[in-house]
């Protein structure tokens, strides 16, 4: 199944100002993200932004950019505007890739997109956890699946809760217990992407502060692609930027 990638990119960032334009080996970060996305087999890669500086940086490096409204509450709403303007077919698949993932594995994008079907309008990714520290870290989002590989629930808590083992110790994870860490990469059918902004907020997402719970609350299935290893971390802080710059020497 073919797919396109849309990368929402806003200039404002509290922890790392002008993050999408941060230099990585002579190119802005958002351009590096687009270059990774282009390796996924996507038929088209578009940066969705509300800032002229980002659009200009993309144009300077041959990356397609689309100017959006500035009042979108989320990146999903932003990419929905782009998909609507492109007049995509209802069954076209759109991958939502964050603009701060310059080390993303391109194969993860295509694998996520491939999970979309007539019955499953949204997909995401996860990987097994091996660390007790991550398992009990509320900043690490976990997901549990049904037998078909669809999400039953996302939580900041350790799920599923290993009642007997955790009653004894929470220092290490018991054997054969591998909770799944959610990876914030999403794919949608265009029909669902257009419907998503109209879904009312749910009590679950407000409690957990996890927007994807809105989808489950309204009864839509989410397929989950499992990758065996954790993807490279994105860029949120100056320390993250310094780490990622090691992968992009100035000669590239």
What is the average pLDDT across 215-235?
94
29 and 132 in a single domain? The answer is no
More confident residue, 69 or 149: 149
Q: How far apart are CA 63 and CA 151, in angstroms?
A: 34
What is the average pLDDT across 48-73?
94
Summarize pLDDT for 231-244 with one digit per residue, the tens: 888 898 999 999 99
Collapse the DSSP code of 192 into the 3-class scheme (helix H, G, I; strand E, B; otherwise coil) and give the result: helix
More confident residue, 219 or 13: 219
How many domains does the chain divide into? 2
168 and 237 in a single domain? The answer is no
- Among 160, 102, 105, residue whose Cα is nearest residue 129: 160
- C-alpha dihedral (244, 95, 98, 66), degrees to nearest 10: 110
Summarize pLDDT for 71-94 with one digit per residue, the tens: 888 889 999 999 999 999 999 999
127 and 219 in a single domain? The answer is yes
**Cβ neighbours for 211, distance < 8 A, ≥ 6 positions apart:** 74, 76, 205
Query: How distant, in Å, are the alpha carbons of 24, 101, 200 from that of 232?
Result: 16, 8, 33
186 and 242 in a single domain? The answer is no
200 and 147 in a single domain? The answer is yes
pLDDT above 70 covers what percent of the chain?
98
- In this predicted structure, what is the pLDDT of residue 107? 96
136 and 207 in a single domain? The answer is yes
Report DSSP state, residue 226.
Answer: E
- In this predicted structure, what is the pLDDT of residue 17? 84
- In this predicted structure, what is the pLDDT of residue 15? 74
The tokens for 227 are 């990758």
209 and 135 in a single domain? The answer is yes
The alpha carbon dihedral of 155, 161, 165, 166 has a sign of positive
Cα distance between the two ends of the chain: 32
C-alpha atoms less than 13 angstroms from C-alpha of 198 in its C-beta half-sphere? 6
The tokens for 2 are 């073919």
58 and 29 in a single domain? The answer is yes
Matching residue, tokens 């590096």: 32
131 and 223 in a single domain? The answer is yes
CATH number of the domain encompassing residue 78: 3.90.550.10
Q: Which residues lie across from 8 on neighbouring strands?
A: 48
66 and 140 in a single domain? The answer is no
What is the average pLDDT across 186-214?
95
The residue segments making up the domain with residue 145 are 105-231
The pLDDT mean for the chain works out to 94
213 and 119 in a single domain? The answer is yes
Confidence of residue 251 (pLDDT cuts 50, 70, 90): low
Confidence of residue 10 (pLDDT cuts 50, 70, 90): confident
Confidence of residue 16 (pLDDT cuts 50, 70, 90): confident
Confidence of residue 32 (pLDDT cuts 50, 70, 90): very high
Phi, psi of 5 (to 5 degrees): -110, 130
pTM reported for the whole predicted model:
0.93
The tokens for 114 are 């491939």
Q: Kindly report which listed range (69-73, 134-138, 149-153) carries the lowest average pLDDT score.
A: 69-73
Confidence of residue 1 (pLDDT cuts 50, 70, 90): low
What is the average pLDDT across 39-54?
96
139 and 38 in a single domain? The answer is no
What is the average pLDDT across 13-29?
89
* 229 has a pLDDT exceeding 90: no
Confidence of residue 70 (pLDDT cuts 50, 70, 90): confident
């Amino acid at each position: 199944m073919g797919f396109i990638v849309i990368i929402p990119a806003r200039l404002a960032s509290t922890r790392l100002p002008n993050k999408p334009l941060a230099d990585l080996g002579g190119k802005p970060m958002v351009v590096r993200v687009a270059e990774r996305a282009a390796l996924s087999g996507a038929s088209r890669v578009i940066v969705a932004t509300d800032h002229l500086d980002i659009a200009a940086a993309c144009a300077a490096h041959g990356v397609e950019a689309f100017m959006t409204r500035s009042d979108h509450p989320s990146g999903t709403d932003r990419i929905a505007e782009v998909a609507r303007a492109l007049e995509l077919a209802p069954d076209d698949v759109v991958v939502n890739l964050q603009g701060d993932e310059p080390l993303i594995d391109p194969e993860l994008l295509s694998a996520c997109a491939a999970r979309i079907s007539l019955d499953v309008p949204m997909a995401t990714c996860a990987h097994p956890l091996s660390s007790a520290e991550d398992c009990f870290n509320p900043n690490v989002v976990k997901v549990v699946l049904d037998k078909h590989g669809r999400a039953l629930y996302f939580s900041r808590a350790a799920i599923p809760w290993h009642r007997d083992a955790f009653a004894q110790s929470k220092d290490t994870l018991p054997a054969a217990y591998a909770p799944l860490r959610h990876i914030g990469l999403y794919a949608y059918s265009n029909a669902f992407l257009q419907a998503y902004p109209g879904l009312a907020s749910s009590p679950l997402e407000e409690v957990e502060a996890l927007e994807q719970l809105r989808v489950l609350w309204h009864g839509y299935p989410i397929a989950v692609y499992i990758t065996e290893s954790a993807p490279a971390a994105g860029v949120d802080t100056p320390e993250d930027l310094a780490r990622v710059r090691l992968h992009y020497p100035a000669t590239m």
